[in-house]
Amino acid sequence: MQAIYIVKRFGVFLLIVWLAATLNFFLPKLSGQDPVRTKLLEQAALGGYVQGGIEEMVKVYQQKFGLDKPLWRQYLTYVGEISHGNLNYSIANYPRTVVGMISEALPWTIGLLGVTTMLSFAIGTLLGALLAWPGAPRWMRWLMPPLWALHAIPFFLLGLVLMWLLAFQFQLLPIFGGYSAGTNPALSWGFALDVLRHAILPALSIILVSVGGWALPMRGMMVTTMGEDYVTFAEAKGLRSSTIFTRYCMRNAILPQTTGLALALGQILSGAVLVEVIFGYPGIGTLLFQAIEENDFFLIQGIVFTVIVALGFATFVLDVVYPLLDPRISYRRA
């Protein structure tokens, strides 16, 4: 694979980061309001209690981003701060920094999303491939309509139903949170198990809905692939059924699926955010929800920026991995 390809892809990634930062800067200005002032006013209106330390924060903020400075100056300062990894303080939780709060929440989300995405992709793709294969067990056909229907609804709706069914009605699984209230996070098996129990419902909501979305296109791709000349020749070569299924059919059918993965990441994340909110799962989604409730503008900005960067990076990684799967790609202009 040529180095220029990687460089190009990385360039796209940097572009996305820059775009995210810029959007983050300019969009709020549209309303012409100052988030810090607004918050102060709000708190004053609520009865005079002003969060301790806000005064200092306002001073720091004015110094750096003061609205009296020309716009381009503010922008440059902003970009400068971001590249140093400074996403400002959380307005509602001063003196905690945005980066600090995000670093606590992010691992939970990455854990949940990473595992569920991989599981859904693997299960869905394999299921789709089997559905297309004449040698597969017949009862599998019955799986398709319910999975297909499930796929149409958003993750969190299924989450609501599952929560009611399994957590409320049958009390099988915990309703809320990432781990049982009152326990201290620790590196122990007990804690790990607790985390797992709490993760099952959110994970299920995502997996059950996503599987159909992977299975059906894979089935279509398999059918197309099975009609190709090289599969006919593979059969004429007297290859075993399993060899043809994996090496000749799946191996080729999975290529468009992987492209689909890169494109779907954004949607999966958006859906996962809502799932987290429903279950109170301590990830980015819940953090975002809190931030919106508290009008913590810097935190919102920080989260959106981080997520966009993370997704951009994931897409970059997938883009680089793809030519490894399809040897034809490096020879086309990327």
Partner 1 sequence: MLSYLRRNISLGVGIGLLGILVIFMVVGAFTVDTSAAQPLSVPALQPPSWDYPLGTDRQGRDLLAVMVAGTPLTLQVGFIAGFLGVGVGALLAFTAAYYGGAVDTVIRSIADIGLTIPGLLVLIIIAVSLKGSLTVNQMAIIIASLAWLNPTRTIRSQVLTLRERGYVEIARLNGMSGPEIIFGELVPNLLPYLAATLVASVSAAILASVGLEVLGLGPVEAPDLGMTLYWVQFNAAIINGWWWWWTAPLVVIVIVFLGLFFLTAGLDEIANPRLRRTV
Partner 2 sequence: MDASTTVLRVEKLCVAYDHPLGAVRAVDDVSFVLRPRERFGLAGESGSGKSTMALAILRMIKPPGRIEGGEVWLQDTALSGLADDAIRRLRLAGIAMVPQGSMNSLNPVVRIRDQIADALADHGSRLSRREVADRVRSLLMQVGLPPEAAGRYPHELSGGMKQRACIAIAICLRPKVIIADEPTSALDVVVQRQVMETLGRVQQQLDAAVILVGHDMGLMAQFVDRLGIMYAGRLVEVAPIRDIITAPRHPYTRMLIDSLPSLEHKGRFVGIPGLAPLLRELPPGCAFHPRCPMAEARCRLEKPAVRAFGADATAACHLA
Segment near partner 1 (CB under 8 A); pick from 18-26, 83-91, 131-139, 228-236: 18-26
Q: Left (φ > 0), alpha (ψ -120 to 50) or beta: where does 238 sit?
A: left
CA 198 → CA 108, 160, 174, 191, 311, distances in Å?
Answer: 11, 15, 6, 11, 25
What binding mask, one character per residue, do residues 247-286 give for partner 1 by CB under 8 A, x or -? ----------------x-xxx-xx--xx--xx--------
- When computed from its CA atoms, the radius of gyration of the chain, rounded to whole angstroms, is 24
Spatial CA neighbour of 261 closest among 159, 124, 144 = 124
Tell me the C-alpha distance between 223 and 41, whole Å. 62
Spatial CA neighbour of 132 closest among 231, 254, 224 = 224
**How near is the Cβ of 231 to partner 2 at its closest, in Å?**
8
**How near is the Cβ of 123 to partner 2 at its closest, in Å?**
23
Segment near partner 1 (CB under 8 A); pick from 24-32, 62-70, 186-194, 200-208: 24-32
Q: Is residue 136 a contact point for partner 1 (CB under 8 A)?
A: no
Q: Is residue 57 a contact point for partner 1 (CB under 8 A)?
A: no
Rounded (5°) CA angle 101-107-112:
130
Q: Using DSSP, state whether 174 is helix, strand or coil.
A: coil
Site for partner 2 in 238-297 (CB under 8 A): 238-240, 243, 247-248, 251-252, 255
Rounded (5°) CA angle 319-321-327:
105
Q: Is residue 15 a contact point for partner 1 (CB under 8 A)?
A: yes
CB-wise, 1 or 167, nearer to partner 2? 1
Spatial CA neighbour of 264 closest among 124, 159, 145, 103 = 124
In the structure encoding, which two tokens stand for residue 52, read together? 């301790």
Q: Is residue 31 a contact point for partner 1 (CB under 8 A)?
A: yes
Query: Can you give the binding site for partner 2, defined by CB under 8 A?
Result: 228-230, 232-240, 243, 247-248, 251-252, 255, 325-328, 331
Residues near partner 1 (CB under 8 A) are 12, 15-16, 19-20, 23-24, 27-31, 33, 38, 149, 151-154, 156-157, 160-161, 163-164, 168, 175, 263, 265-267, 269-270, 273-274, 277-278, 288-289, 292-293, 295, 297, 300-301, 303-304, 307-308, 311-312, 315
